[in-house]
Amino acid sequence: MNDLSFLKPASRQIDFDNFDDRLLLYVLQYEPSFFTCISCGGCTATCSAGNLTNFNVRKIGLWLRRGETEKLSEEIQKCMFCGKCTLVCPRDINIRNVILLIKKRIAMLKNENSPA
């Protein structure tokens, strides 16, 4: 008998057994408006850093929800903090603050995990 099931590529799978939601919960605590994101892509379309690099603001939200801290840590370094994303957001999410919170929390998590 043939296996007719569909397999998602590993890049599209979320391992909920090893899911780290500390970063997401931290962001939602200080910027609860992030929960209302509809992934419209307006932030990505207007992003100055996105015009100069492969930076994608919408992926930040996706990786944050998936708990992919390593990808986030590298990607947020590209943000220029110009604030255009916040200006065009139809849900009035302070995306600039979300990225700042991510940066801050990742630094805190690295300090927690580093040997004393």
Encode the chain in three state secondary structure. Answer: CCCCCCCCCHHHCCCHHHCCCHHHHHHHHHCHHHHHCCCCCHHHHHCHHHHHCCCCHHHHHHHHHHCCHHHHHHHHHHCCCCCHHHHHCCCCCCHHHHHHHHHHHHHHHHHHHCCC
For all residues of the chain together, what is the average pLDDT? 89
**Structural domain boundaries of the chain?**
19-113
Residue 57 confidence (pLDDT) = 94
Name the residue type at position 22: R
Q: What is the average pLDDT across 45-72? A: 92
Residue 110 confidence (pLDDT) = 86
Rounded CA separation 51/56 (Å): 9
Q: Could you read off the pLDDT of 1-43 as tens digits, one per residue?
A: 566 677 878 777 777 777 788 999 999 999 999 999 999 999 9
CATH of 19-113, one of 3.40.50.1580, 1.10.10.10, 3.30.300.30, 1.10.1060.10: 1.10.1060.10
Whether the pLDDT of residue 103 is over 90: the answer is yes
